[in-house]
Structures are given as structure tokens and as C-alpha cells.
Amino acid sequence: MEFMRVPAGKFLMGSENGDSDEKPQHMIDVPYDYWMARYPITNELYNAYAKAKNIKHPMGGWEKKKNHPVTNVKWTDAMAYCQWLNGLIKAELPSGLTLRLPTEAEWEKAARGTDGLEFPWGNQFDKNKCNTSGGGKRGTTPVGDYSPQGDSMYGCADMSGNVWEWTHSLKEAIPYKAKDGREDEIASDARVLRGGSFGDNRRNARCAFRHDFGITLFINYVGFRVVVASPVIS
């Protein structure tokens, strides 16, 4: 698993031209470095967890798509995967850091950089830089198939299209405030997903677009990626 450093500092979150729940666009500070997984968790990586826990892999025939992002994963499954993997590699992590789902702010900064880009690569949509409905794939593609042309400024791939990605955050209004309760892990309300999928249009694949699902839903276009960062404080 490869991780990309996202340095501490301010970035533009949200959009003045997007949906109402993306407004207002605002500058926020993420006051720590963190390391975002370059790719979503793949079927092969998830299978190690499934074998360790003696559970069924969520995707039938995954062996033919080992390097595709895992799908049919509930938010609670993604959280459980992070807990399991964190336990395995805890001794390898720098002191004070943990492996977990990214917050909504961490995800958006890793996707669009500091200047509020519409898409990871810039402000103009390009169907050749991401797996969305415009490309006609009609299903997942191997992670990194659109690299490096579709990568963010930090080198994170597939942050537009391929699969929707769970974040740690509850769906609350912005401006984003990390300590207002939206990062409560116990709450059972809907969580934010980001990035769009192979079946979504350009609007949904924008870095600022916010989607949400209930935490027990599993769908064939929803996956996740992980981050190494400070523990979340709700």
C-alpha cells in the first residue's frame, strides 16, 4: 500500500458554483501532515482481511479483478477493516499516528490541493483522466489506470470516478468544523462519500461534490481508501 504526503496548511473547501450543501466555499486549516493512500483499497487487499476474519469477500468473482477497488462495502465494514489493519501495522506507524478513514476535509484537500481545483488535475473536465460515465466503461477499472494524468497535486489517484469513497464524516453543513460532532464514530447517521463513480457524470466527479449514504448500505459502486494521520477528535 502506497501513501502520499499531504502537508499541513490551509486549502479552499466547498464551491460557490455547486450544490447548496457545498456552500459557502471557505478556507480551512488542516494543522497537521497526513498520508493519504494513493489508491482505493483493492479487492486483493480486502481479501486479506476477509480471510483473517473468516468472512465472505463482498464481490463475487473478485479474483478476476484483483487490482480493482473493492465495492459492496458498508461504512461499518470500512471502519472494521481500518481497525484490523491498524492493529497489524501499528508498530510500524510513527508515534501519534493511526490508520483510519479520512475525514471529509482530509479527502477534499488530498483531491484538489490548496487552490480549490474543480477536479484533481485542474478546472476543466476530461473524460480521459477518470473513470466516469463519459468514458463508457460501465464498471470499475484497475486502480491507477488513469495515472499520472488524472492524479491530484499530491499524487493521489482515482479521486474522481471509479468508485465513491466513504469518509469518516457525518453529513453536516459546511463550513467544515472538525470538532462540532461530525466526526463522532458512534453516531448512526449517514456518512459522506466523495469522488463519484464509473456511473456518475462530470458534476458528481467534482472534488467538492458531497454524497451520503446510510452506514449499513452496500452498493456495487462504493468503496474506500485509508489515511495515516492523527486520531480523529470529535
Q: Convert the pLDDT of each residue in 165-206 to its tens digit.
A: 999 999 999 999 999 999 999 999 999 999 999 999 999 999
pLDDT value for 17: 87
pLDDT value for 90: 87
CA distance 155 to 20: 29
Q: Calculate mean pLDDT across residues 111-140.
A: 95
The percentage of residues in the chain with a pLDDT greater than 70, rounded to a whole number, is 100
Angle at 61 between CA 55 and CA 65, to 5 degrees: 105
CA distance 3 to 98: 13
Residue 19: band (very low, low, confident or very high) from pLDDT cuts 50, 70, 90: confident
Least confident of 20-24, 42-46, 72-76, 155-159: 20-24
Q: Convert the pLDDT of each residue in 65-87 to its tens digit.
A: 999 999 999 999 999 999 999 99
Which grid cell is 203?
458534476
Q: What is the mean pLDDT of the chain?
A: 95
Residue 18: band (very low, low, confident or very high) from pLDDT cuts 50, 70, 90: confident
| CATH architecture observed for domain 3-229 | Alpha-Beta Complex (3.90)
Prediction pTM value: 0.95
pLDDT value for 60: 92
Per-residue pLDDT for 234 more than 80?
no
pLDDT value for 130: 97
Listed residue (228, 231, 185) closest to 89, CA to CA: 228
Beta strands in the chain (DSSP E): 3-6, 9-13, 26-30, 34-37, 98-100, 164-170, 191-194, 211-213, 222-223, 227-229
Q: Calculate mean pLDDT across residues 123-152.
A: 96
Q: What is residue 132's three-state secondary structure?
A: coil
Residue whose entry in the numeric block shows the C-alpha cell 458534476: 203
